[in-house]
Amino acid sequence: MSEMLDWPRSNVDAVIVDLDGTMVDTLGDFVQALQRMVADLPLPYRDFVVEQALVERLVGKGSENLIKGLLAHIDQGVAATDNVALFEQAWASYQHYYRAVNGHYSEVYPGVRDALAGWQQAGLPMVCVTNKPAAFARDLLQEKGLAPFFPLVIGGDTVARKKPDPMPLLHACERLGTVPGRTLMVGDSSNDAQAARAAGCPVLLVSYGYNHGEPVDQVDADAVVDRLTQLRWI
């Protein structure tokens, strides 16, 4: 999939861009924060070694689901998901550690900065829509020098529901003043594609992201690229 992907510029008024797995490889940040989080918890959580492959499968549906998924994996789902006190302790610990490591163990994917600059030059307004809490998302974009592209950031705590629900995308279109059918969603997972389809947005996926550990070419999308610079406006 190294060839260019031509997309009519006249069909697109704005672009919605996902963050984790699309613009920035943040698995290192997640692993660091989660490993420090479980060290604060009682056994058997305290001795668990958090591996990147597990986080890759769990990431993408918001921080709360990430933590619940990890706790359930460690205790095989017996108690963690129903233990409110344990979750609250884990959530507070995770927020503390993630804030400390945010952006320090992550990298912007190749081609992302050039692609965003090209879209900006083409006159396309851009909004970042992520399931990550908005404050963490803004800090990460700032840390990686991507904040100037995104005056508007919609996080997992901005509206009542997260992707794959279409609500964040519809909210983005409302804020942008665009209609969904002319607002391109760019992401890396079935979460992004399902939200886009439900909202009525065209959707472009990248092949290098997380997608819950599943092949992205099996997801219902309008196109898949290996690098965002493959997208060419015509």
Rounded Cα gap, residues 62 and 59, in angstroms: 7
Contact 59, 21 (CB under 8 A): yes
Q: What is the DSSP string of 36-73?
A: HHHHTSPTTGGGPPPPHHHHHHHTTS-HHHHHHHHHHH
Rounded Cα gap, residues 193 and 166, in angstroms: 10
Residue 33's H or E segment, with its range, is helix 27-39
Contact 190, 164 (CB under 8 A): yes
Name the maximum alpha-carbon separation found in the chain: 57
Q: Give catalytic residue positions.
A: 18
**Quick one: which of 107, 106, 115, 60 has its CA closest to 226?**
115
Strand bridging mode 231-233 / 5-7:
parallel
Rounded Cα gap, residues 58 and 30, in angstroms: 10
